Amino acid sequence: EIVLTQSPGTLSSSPGERATLSCRASQSVSSSYLAWYQQKPGQGPRLLIYGASSRATGIPDRFSGSGSGTDFTLTISRLEPEDCAVYYCQQYGRSRWTFGQGTKVEIK
Amino acid sequence: EVQLVESGGGLVQPGGSLRLSCAASGFTFSSYSMNWVRQAPGKGLEWVSYISSSGSAIYYADSVKGRFTISRDNPKNSLYLQINSLRAEDTAVYYCARWVRAADGTNYYYYMDVWGKGTTVTVSS
């Protein structure tokens, strides 16, 4: 099973700052199968990025994804107060889906 | 509006059973594969089970194999999860999510694009 490790566990930044979230896989992952989700308290997850770098419908362009192989990154270019949430990466392979443990983004 | 609504959660004793439902609307349910994903209190997301659009392919996480059964009724636009022999560690919010295979030229992409709000299962005596 492919394990996804996200870092940092918690990221605290001010509005307008850039946030960089990392997702590292224990084995190489196809970019086609790598997605990022945002989850706010009391809500279901929301798709942000699919195919490692494609924004989902309605997602602001301050969110971007990059990476390949075992290292993937979600970047929020200019943090806004509504970006306060937990962010998860996810991969699919060999009839198994796995999620990273999440990165909590706090706005100072 | 594309929507998924889970129901059927509740408080159940260890060893008990529950049947979770997910009602789909706003899209052609029979054209999409579906997943169940759960989240224990204060924890991250854990994939539980997958079923293909026709129901011919089914997969389970090792943690639930043999105890959980996924199924679907396409004419009723509904997804189900029968959960038996419940344990304390099954306590979680259970989400249903639509699985998408999308094409962009020569590339294919796979992701869960629509999620419900979840239904809570609590296993306790």
How many residue pairs bridge chain A and chain B with CB atoms within 8 Å of each other? 67
Residue B34: name the closest of B50, B48, B56, B58 by CA.
B50
Residue type at position A4 = L
Position of tokens 């199968």? A33
pLDDT of residue A95: 87
Region B11-17 average pLDDT: 97
Specify the pairing of strand B33-39 against strand B45-51: antiparallel
B1 touches chain A (CB under 8 A): no
Residue A34: name the closest of A90, A75, A87, A100 by CA.
A90
Q: Taking CA atoms, what residue in A is nearest to B110?
A: A33
pLDDT of residue B80: 98
Best residue in B48, B56, B110, B120 for a mutation probing chain A (most A CBs within 10 Å): B110
Question: B103 falls in which pLDDT band (50, 70, 90)?
Answer: confident
Compute how many other C-beta atoms are within 10 angstroms of the C-beta atom of residue A36.
29
Question: B63 falls in which pLDDT band (50, 70, 90)?
Answer: very high
Q: What are phi and psi of A32, to 5 degrees?
A: -60, -25
User: Which tens digits make up the pLDDT trace of A51-100?
Assistant: 999 999 999 999 999 999 999 999 999 999 999 999 999 999 888 999 99
Share of chain B above pLDDT 90, in %: 94
Distance, in Å, from the CA atom of B112 to the CA atom of B95, rounded to the nearest integer, reads 11
pLDDT of residue A94: 85
Q: A92 vs B45: CB contact, 8 Å cut-off?
A: no
Q: Taking CA atoms, what residue in A is nearest to B116?
A: A44
Q: A100 vs B107: CB contact, 8 Å cut-off?
A: no
Q: Which of A44, A90, A95 sits opposite B118 (nearest CB)?
A: A44
Q: Is the dihedral of CA A57, B58, B121, B42 positive or negative?
A: negative
pLDDT of residue A93: 86
Residues 6+ apart with CB under 8 A from A94: none
Q: A96 vs B102: CB contact, 8 Å cut-off?
A: no
pLDDT of residue B107: 86
Cis peptide before A8 (omega within 30 of 0): yes
Instruction: Give the tokens for residue B9.
Output: 């959660």
